[in-house]
Structure 1
Amino acid sequence: MQTVNSNVDFSPVPDIVGALQTILARSQVIIPIDLDTPYAKFPNTDHSAIELKDQSISAIITERQQQLDAVLHDISGLQIVMDNINNLRQQLVKKKDKITQSMNLHKGLVSALWRFPTEVLSHIFERCLPEFDEWLPPLNQQAPMLLSQVCRRWRGIAVGTSNLWCRLCMGNLWQRVPSCCDSWLKRSQGRPLSLALHPSHINHLDELRSLLQPYINQISSLSIGFCCSDCLPEVVIADFPALQELTISMDNPIPAVTPFISQLPFTLRSLKVTQLSLNLEDLSLFNPVWARLTNVEIDICQPNAFPQLLHLCPDLSSLTIAVEFRGTQVLEPFTHTKLQSLCISDSFNTDTTALSGLFNALSLPNLRALEARYVQQWPHEGLKAFLTRSNCPLESLVFGAGVRTTDEQRAEYVALIPSLQVVVDSNRGCFA
């Protein structure tokens, strides 16, 4: 009888198939389909009939044992064949991947993409960068890391394209593998850097400074979060003398971060504050900073804080502001001559009177772009008075999510400024 030897290597496909066919054929011959006997019917009390039969019960048991041994042997042999099939499949999958990789490589050699100049591929790679998320570390499945894994030429181009390595969320990577962050920052080749730091980094300031020290004069944009007064960076911002843009997210009351604010460098031109609504008193704590800012994104909770902010920022050209007005106030007229872009969103369902009072007090003679979001009670008459009084060269008026206006109202705005483009887009966010 032919058996399956566990020491035999069934690596070729025909050997494995042959062994499997042998097992199947032998199993059908050795094991009959019908295993019934005259003694298998119970109850059976005719003992004399049992004794007269040619085939004794002991002979049947012996036969069944032989059949069982044969089945167990075939099960063992089949398991060996199955293991070899799995091993063979893994080998074939690896061969398939290598063949596919080689084929794709040679296809690439004759493709137009392969013949692109390095400068063109560099530009394409820059277009592949995902939107910068301040709190998500880089992923291997995204550019620029993904681009460096395609082939040797692409890796060389990606590593040599400094613009691909100018943005980095530090995450916890710098603590686990600081050499990775260092390599990333080196590839920026001296270009301005945008970094995001988590609150947890504040507990490791000395290590962080050591890592960033060689690149300290490159860091022009920084995002950082404060979750409690205990984790405020007493000198962290002062370490970045070339900082131009700062985003701070905080749950703290403003007085708790006053020492931090006082250290903001004189190079700062853009400030974004999130998760905190400021009042008139809070604005005064930023006094050393406002005068040199040209771009601000902030939340305010008092109507009189709006003109005061404009007063504190004489060079401001772009303002994105969320209002949380909890009452109405009489505002003194105020004119700001440099503001060109204004985005207003309402996060407190401010009533029409408060916003109308705001528009009635302001004059923005250089305004070119105005956007509104989530203002459910739109002050139509107040905006018309504002546009008439400002006599501004407004080019774009955008009504975003949550703002309801009629065709007639929008036509009145165009009548005031014939060159005005009015856009209604419920999915649109504020411009930068």
Structure 2
Amino acid sequence: MQVIEGATTNSKANLSPVSDIIHALQNILARSQSVTVCRFRYMIGCRFIDDEQIPDLETPYCRLPNTDQTAIPKGQRLISTIITERQQQLDAVLHEISGLETVMDGIKNLHQQLVEKKDRITQSMNLHKGLGSALWRLPNELLSHIFVYCLPEAKYLSPESEPPMLLTRICRRWREVALGIPSLWCRLCMEFVNNSDWQWAAVRYNSWLKRSRGCPLSLELHCDADDLTKLRSLLRPYINQISSLSIKISVPGTQPELLLKDLPALQELTIWWNHDDPPIAQSISRLPSTLRSLLVGESWFDVGDISSSNPVWAHLINVQIDIIRPNAFLHLLQLCPNLSSLAVSTDFPQIQTQPLEPFTHTKLRFLGIDSVFLGAHSLPVLFDALSLPNLRVFETCEVIPWPHEAVKALLVRSKCPLESLIFSGRRIATITDEQRAEYTALFPSLEIVSTVYQT
């Protein structure tokens, strides 16, 4: 033990290399193992160990079969003297154990330092190996284009480990390049659903949005919090950048205009709103004239709702909406002269029998109709009033029964260049071979598709 302590002290004093310390310890352990000879003897249940480093603890009393004091040979040392001697030996051993543990702790610390040194050397070696690769020699401009192609195809990105966040964790150069590309940070999904740490989430989203540096933003907002004031405050510095916005609100009484007002660059809006209070039409009427695409889900529109949003419809090119009356359908088309694509869910509570005023829409290329409940029964009256001379794709979802004669009359009257007729849904309308032949006769290159959705 004295040798080990001396070696440790000299190492600190002389600042010897780690290899010298390791060599000295190896020598000490080798000498210790070479001089140790253990011998075990068993006599009357007692175990004896003779060792040059371990003292001989054998006494005449170990051979006695009992502790009868009359049997103790005369002239032997008193038992108390032996106990005192053993206590001294025990104290010496405990002292040596304590010293050895101190040395072992020092060795553990030295080992940890060496492991950390090894990791730093490995990191440096890998870095310099990378310097010789072709990827490292790519100019920043080319690396930027590669990063853009690394982005997922999803319309909105989550600030997790997927690109672009993953690109910032490879190396310092990649992080600098990624943070210098605003287009990497223009799509973001922001979730505030029962968020217990709103402040932390706001800091994370704000950091992402800052990197967009004024580029147009596409945002998706999941808002189950009934107070949107903080979210509006978070988005305020980026209001002029928001060009695409998707909102899902599921809390009754929430004021959607908090998120929909003052969006001067908005071109695309998707909003899921399943509450009647307040009416969503009031908020839509305040949207800017820059809006070109509008999708409203889980909220039914009548003629009055559509009329109240009149200023918005004139500029729209794409609309997806739920309508509860055939005349509201026609009224929407009348207010959307530039409409190219229209997808409508119809739920007509009463079967329409009275004819509607004829109307021709010259720019509509795609028409999708999803029939709900009694919606299909009033479609013939609606189709009889329509003319769509530019229609290319006609898709129907669960339109049962299929109004073949009304649809054929619409297509003949419109003289449109129809390319696809699509039947979709969990249940799809069936057409006979004769009806199929009639459609093919009108449009020889027509593609008729049937797609059944799995429940």
Q: Report the TM-score, using the length of structure 1 for normalisation.
A: 0.69
Structure 1 match to 2:390: 366
Alignment size in residue pairs: 411
Q: Deviations over 1:265-324 (max 9, x none)?
A: 222222121342334443333233223211112233455543333233232111233345
Q: Could you tell me which of 151, 162, 177 is aligned with 1:129?
A: 151
Larger Rg: 2
Q: Does 1:242 align with 2:268?
A: no
What amino acid does structure 2 have at the position aligned with 1:176?
A: V
Q: Does 1:100 align with 2:133?
A: no
What amino acid does structure 1 have at the position aligned with 2:128?
A: S
Counterpart Cα distance in 2 of 1:15 and 1:327? 95
Q: Could you tell me which of 285, 291, 306 is aligned with 2:329?
A: 306
Note the 1:4-15 alignment, pairs <5 A.
12=18
The Cα of 1:124 is off from its aligned counterpart by: 3.4
**Cα–Cα, structure 1 residues 117 and 203, in superposed 2: closer, same or farther, change >3 Å?**
closer
Q: Quick check: 1:397–1:421 contact (8 Å CA) kept in 2?
A: yes
Structure 1 match to 2:318: 295
Counterpart Cα distance in 2 of 1:40 and 1:325? 101
Structure 2 match to 1:252: 275
What amino acid does structure 2 have at the position aligned with 1:419?
A: S
Note the 1:387-402 alignment, pairs <5 A.
387-399=411-423, 402=426
Counterpart Cα distance in 2 of 1:114 and 1:280? 63
Q: Could you tell me which of 75, 87, 90 is aligned with 2:116?
A: 90
Note the 1:214-225 alignment, pairs <5 A.
216=240, 218-225=241-248
Q: Quick check: 2:185–2:208 contact (8 Å CA) kept in 1?
A: no
Q: Report the TM-score, using the length of structure 2 for normalisation.
A: 0.66
Q: Quick check: 1:229–1:257 contact (8 Å CA) kept in 2?
A: no
Structure 1 match to 2:292: 269
Counterpart Cα distance in 2 of 1:300 and 1:32? 97
| Alpha-carbon RMSD | 5.1
Identity of aligned residues (%): 34
Structure 1 unaligned spans of 5+? none
Q: Quick check: 1:303–1:328 contact (8 Å CA) kept in 2?
A: no
Describe the SS at the equivalent of 1:239.
coil
Q: Which has the higher contact order (CA 8 A, sep 6+)?
A: 1
Counterpart Cα distance in 2 of 1:143 and 1:163? 12
Q: Could you tell me which of 341, 350, 370 is aligned with 2:366?
A: 341
Counterpart Cα distance in 2 of 1:327 and 1:22? 100
Q: Quick check: 1:341–1:367 contact (8 Å CA) kept in 2?
A: yes
Counterpart Cα distance in 2 of 1:24 and 1:301? 94
Q: Could you tell me which of 164, 174, 186 is aligned with 2:184?
A: 164
Q: Deviations over 1:164-209 (max 9, x none)?
A: 34444566679537973674242x4xx5443455656841488457
Q: Deviations over 1:146-174 (max 9, x none)?
A: 44555566556545544334444566679
Q: Quick check: 2:365–2:393 contact (8 Å CA) kept in 1?
A: yes
Counterpart Cα distance in 1 of 2:92 and 2:350? 93
Q: Quick check: 2:402–2:429 contact (8 Å CA) kept in 1?
A: no
The Cα of 1:388 is off from its aligned counterpart by: 4.6
Counterpart Cα distance in 1 of 2:3 and 2:335? 93
**Cα–Cα, structure 1 residues 143 and 343, in superposed 2: closer, same or farther, change >3 Å?**
farther
**Cα–Cα, structure 1 residues 352 and 320, in superposed 2: closer, same or farther, change >3 Å?**
closer
Structure 2 unaligned spans of 5+? 48-62, 192-197
Q: Quick check: 1:229–1:256 contact (8 Å CA) kept in 2?
A: no
Structure 2 match to 1:184: 211
**Cα–Cα, structure 1 residues 68 and 224, in superposed 2: closer, same or farther, change >3 Å?**
same
Q: Could you tell me which of 58, 61, 66 is aligned with 1:47?
A: 66
Q: Deviations over 1:5-57 (max 9, x none)?
A: 5887899589569858977996999796979774569xx99416996799999
Counterpart Cα distance in 1 of 2:23 and 2:428? 73
Q: Quick check: 1:378–1:405 contact (8 Å CA) kept in 2?
A: yes
